[in-house]
Amino acid sequence: MPILPIDSGRYGSNEIRKIFEEENRLRYQLNFEAQVALSQGKLRMIPLKASREIARIARSNKITTAKIKELESISEHDTASLVQAISEYCSPTTRPWIHYGLTSNDVVDTSTSMQLKDAFKVIEPKIFKLISLLINRVRKYDLLPSVGRTHGQHASIISFGLKFAIWANELSYHIERIEEGKKRFLLCKTLGVVGTGSLMGSKALDVQDKVAKTLGLYSIEAATQVIPRERLAEVQFIISLIGSSLDKMATEIRNLQRTEIGEVEEPFKKGQLGSSAVPVKRNPIKSERISSLARILRSFSNIAQENISLWHERDLSNSANERFTIPMGIILLDEMINNMIRVIEGLTVSSQRIIDNINKTKGRIFAEFILEALVKKGIPRMKAYESIQRVAFETLVDDRDFRDAIMKDPSIGEHLNKNELKTIFDPNTHLAASSRIIKNVIKRTEQIRKNYKPH
């Protein structure tokens, strides 16, 4: 069974998990060794015949994780065991040229970049899909007025479609962050023990450029024994940032699904159980899972920043945790995106409940617009504010209709006629710039898709 640094089978898609399986990690490392040898052979740094033999052995299926583990049980060094395994299948004249001029982290860091490159080929199309699903919701609900809440309280009117537009817009920026960041964190390094090029001399950079180009990576400009950990910290930050956006979406859905609000509901398939004890419950478990996993991703970002400061040209204080945080971060993000796609695809929206909630405060949600109308009539703002607040609080205590109380109050009602009040208390007149904002978001997401076509 594939070994992963995560609970086997529960989280992440098979396609993303496969990238980080132990056997595939070995294949990435062997491919790197093959490409380095071939590049060195072309530059006549090592014998051409030896370079081809190294590449042939590295790309064969002869070297297995079982063999590496057997050798590592003696050497207690995984990369040295990799080199030793290649050596056992090569001729005596080729063996001196295996892993020539390299150090362990040339292999480890570059193969990590190779994994991340393939992982983003899986992640980015899913983000694009989620953006498309959100835009579909935007178009459907752009003219549906709903309650806009601040501090958990009814504040004003918002287009329900604008909620989805804001989410889609932020996801489009995450695509930009990934694409713009690739040149900084999808890196190839062949600069040896302390980043000087070591045994390869000045041609080390030529080797590195050739290998990077072949692997679809970027050549690191300067490094110690390791690629600077600021680069991996950026990856983890982007992962955690995307996770936090998904958490924001999930939190809103969870809140809107509360019994007291009831504006949306996660998909609930036939046979699904909401509670082992309460038969009537339909819990937002997918959104709750997203919020839970987002907390882990944010902690990984902190760990990645802790890894930036290493002793001199390197130490091992970053190594052990990165074996977990890098693959786990990607796998958990994949799980979160998959869950959110399912949620948005099957999300039930109750338009009637949304309208009912606008009326829940018996008109008090329109206080902002009454204030605006009075100010335009020449009434000092604070005087108008105090009058509206007084009436609002009185109707709250007595559970009376706010519109009727406004009309009857002499300090307010005498300044507003019936047509003005009708407009003020119509939620459809208060969507303001929502449609224009939504059009701009749709235009931007389309441009992002055009600029960065999903793989």
What CATH number is associated with residue 28? 1.10.275.10
Q: Are residues 73 and 129 both part of a single domain?
A: no
Q: Are residues 67 and 148 both part of a single domain?
A: no
Summarised one tens digit per residue, pLDDT across range 153-172 is 999 999 999 999 999 999 99
Would the pTM of this model clear 0.85, i.e. be above it?
Answer: yes
Sequence-distant (6+) residues with CB within 8 A of 13 are 122, 334, 335, 338
Q: Are residues 122 and 158 both part of a single domain?
A: yes
Q: Are residues 44 and 144 both part of a single domain?
A: no
Residue 6 covered by a domain: no
Q: What percent of the chain has pLDDT over 70?
A: 95
pLDDT for 4 equals 52
Q: Are residues 298 and 383 both part of a single domain?
A: no
Q: Which tokens sit at 140? A: 């459907």
Q: Are residues 324 and 418 both part of a single domain?
A: no
| 349 touches 141 (CB < 8 A) | yes
Quickly list DSSP for 48-106.
HHHHHHHHHHHHSS---HHHHHHHHHHH--HHHHHHHHHHHHS-TTTGGGTTTT--HHH
Summarised one tens digit per residue, pLDDT across range 101-140 is 999 999 999 999 999 999 999 999 999 999 999 999 999 9
What CATH number is associated with residue 227? 1.20.200.10
Q: Are residues 148 and 283 both part of a single domain?
A: yes
Domain range for 312 is 104-269+277-357
Q: Are residues 214 and 85 both part of a single domain?
A: no
Residue 445 covered by a domain: no
Q: Are residues 40 and 113 both part of a single domain?
A: no
Given the DSSP bridges, would you call strands 264-265 and 348-349 parallel, antiparallel or unpaired?
antiparallel
- Cite the active site residues: 151, 275
| 98 touches 37 (CB < 8 A) | yes
For residue 328, name the pLDDT band (cuts at 50, 70, 90). very high
**Residue 1: pLDDT above 50?**
no
Q: Which of 97, 129, 145 is the last residue of a domain?
A: 97
Q: Are residues 315 and 207 both part of a single domain?
A: yes
- Using DSSP's 3-state secondary structure scheme, residue 349 falls into strand
What CATH number is associated with residue 400? 1.10.40.30
Q: What total of structural domains would you count in the chain? A: 3
Q: Are residues 74 and 110 both part of a single domain?
A: no
| 234 touches 184 (CB < 8 A) | yes
